[in-house]
Amino acid sequence: MTTETNDKKTVGRLKSRPQFLAVRKGDIRRGRAFLLEVLDRHEPNDPPRVGFTVTKKHGNAVERNRMRRRLKAAVRQSAAIAMKNGHDYVIVARRDVLSTSFAELTARLVERIESPSRHGTPRQGGPKRPVPGKHDGKES
């Protein structure tokens, strides 16, 4: 668990090129307006870190700045809560970051951070066992 003394979580920042290259080896999750790369560093006491990648082919300097700022604002306001300690996140922006509404962008980002992958946890039981109780329903 996170320390409850400060409810707003401090998120570190990835800065150097080797850090970015390391995260590329982790889990890759596709979103509508972005691409999310996640790497577990196995250091549960460190705060999570985030980096942004906006390539030059997606717009001029003004548009690239706007994309990065909207993503930063989304992470700071809501998505940082969902991030786990000891993990690195890299958000690769696409051009749709400019056009989607801020609420939708935030929701998509939180969803991608929370869900490890499209197919959920690797379960052994298989699709039988209709799960009578409240097992792990994410609609809770």
Partner RNA sequence: CCAGUCGGCCGGGCAGCCGCGCUCCACCAAUGUCGAAAGACGGUGGGGUGAGGAAAGUCCGGGCUCCACGGAAACACGGUGCCGGAUAACGUCCGGCGGGGGCGACCCUAGGGAAAGUGCCACAGAAAGCAGACCGCCCCGCAUCUCCACUGCUUCUUUGGAAGCGGUCGGCCGCGGCGGGGUAAGGGUGAAAGGGUGGGGUAAGAGCCCACCGCGCGUCUGGCAACAGAAGCGGCACGGUAAACCCCACUGGGAGCAAGACCGAAUAGGGAUGACACGAUUUCCGCGAAAGCGGAGGUCAAGCCUGUUUCCGGGCUCGUCAUCCGGGUGGGUUGCGCGAGGCGAUGUGUAAACAUCGUCCCAGAUGAAUGGCUGCCACGUUCCGAUGCUCGCAUCGGGGCCAUACAGAACCCGGCUUACAGGCCGACUGGCGAC
By CB under 7 A, tell whether 77 contacts RNA.
Answer: yes
User: Helix (H, G, I), strand (E, B), or coil: what is residue 32?
Assistant: coil
> What token pair was written down for 98?
């400019």
Say how many C-beta atoms besides its own lie within 10 A of residue 12's C-beta. Answer: 12
Sheet architecture: strand order including 27-30: 12-13, 49-53, 87-93, 34-40, 27-30
CB of 27 to RNA, least distance (A): 18
Are 13 and 53 contacting, i.e. CB atoms less than 8 angstroms apart? no
Tokens 């909207």 — which residue?
A: 70
Of 17 and 118, which CB lies nearer to RNA in the complex structure? 17
Alpha carbon 68 to chain centroid, angstroms: 14
Contact characters 32-71, RNA, x per CB under 7 A: -------------------xxx------xxx--xx-xxx-
By CB under 7 A, tell whether 99 contacts RNA.
Answer: no
CB of 66 to RNA, least distance (A): 5
User: Judged by CB under 7 A, which of 1, 3, 7, 8 binds RNA?
Assistant: 8
Of 21 and 124, which CB lies nearer to RNA in the complex structure? 21
By CB under 7 A, tell whether 76 contacts RNA.
Answer: yes
Closest CA to 51 of 9, 93, 81, 85: 93
Say how many C-beta atoms besides its own lie within 10 A of residue 53's C-beta. Answer: 16
Of 92 and 124, which CB lies nearer to RNA in the complex structure? 92
User: Which residues of the chain form contacts with RNA (CB under 7 A)?
Assistant: 8, 13-17, 20, 51-53, 60-62, 65-66, 68-70, 72-73, 76-77, 101-102
